Amino acid sequence: MGYQYIDHTADLGIKVTSPDIKGLFEEAALAVVKIMGGAAKHKKISLSVTVDGLDRVDTLVRWLQEIIYLIAVKDIRIADLEITYIDDTRLEALVKGIYSHSGLSTEIKAVTYHNLEIKKRHDNLYEVAIIFDT
């Protein structure tokens, strides 16, 4: 479970695996937090996040873009996140952390749709490969 890097010439890619869709979306978001250097230890604030997508893949992109926005624009450093509701076109989550201007490590400009596909493997794990524009 978790994520691993995949090589992409211009940008940055990760492959995420999880036994279920909720876990897959949470693992992908935690990967974004870690790559950007946007993690925190304390949970002083709690934010509700809701995203509506066109389908499962689009919902994933919008969810991850929301995490990037919270870190890069709203100066939130994330200690924990939990998806409280998910279907193919809607996701609701609670994000906990702190406000901080602490420096970040990697800029993710955007989550791309390039070859983005959520697959169920033979071992019943869900898998997705995501390319970020960095």
Partner 1 sequence: MEALKIERIDPYRLKIFKTPPMRTWGIVYANKVIEAGLEKDEALKQVANVACLPGIIGPSIAMPDIHWGYGFPIGGVAAFSLQDGVISPGGVGYDINCGIRCICTGLSIEEILPIKEKLLGEVFHRVPAGLGARHKRFKLSQKELKEIMIKGALWAVKKGFGTYDDLEAHEDYGSIPGADPDMVSGRACERGLPEVGTLGSGNHFIEIDVVDKIMDKKIARMFSLFKDQILIQVHTGSRGFGHQICDDYIRIMLSAGSRYNIYLPDRQLACAPIDTKEAKSYLGAMAAAANFAFANREMITYLIRETFEDLFGKSWENLGLRLLYDCCHNIAKIESIPWKGKSIEACIHRKGATRALPSGDARLPLRFKDTGQPVLIPGDMGRASFILVAGDNAKETFFSACHGAGRLLSRREAKRRAKGRSVFDELSKKEIYAIAASKATLAEEMPESYKDVSDVVDTISGAGVAKVIAKLRPIGMIKG
Q: Which residues of 109-134 are buried (b: 16+ CB within 10 A; e: fewer)?
A: eebeeeeeebeeeeeeebebbbbbee
Q: Contact region for partner 1 (CB under 8 A) — 22-30, 42-50, 82-90, 108-116? A: 108-116
> Which whole-number Å values give the CA distances from 49 to 5, 60, 63, in the listed order?
26, 13, 8
* Interface pattern 55-94 for partner 1 (x via CB under 8 A): --xx---x--x---x--xx---------------------
Q: Site for partner 1 (CB under 8 A): which residue of 42, 44, 90, 109?
A: 109
What is the number of alpha carbons within 13 Å of residue 70 lying toward its C-beta? 31
Residue 48 within binding range of partner 1, rule CB under 8 A: no
* Interface pattern 8-47 for partner 1 (x via CB under 8 A): xxxxx-----------------------x-----------
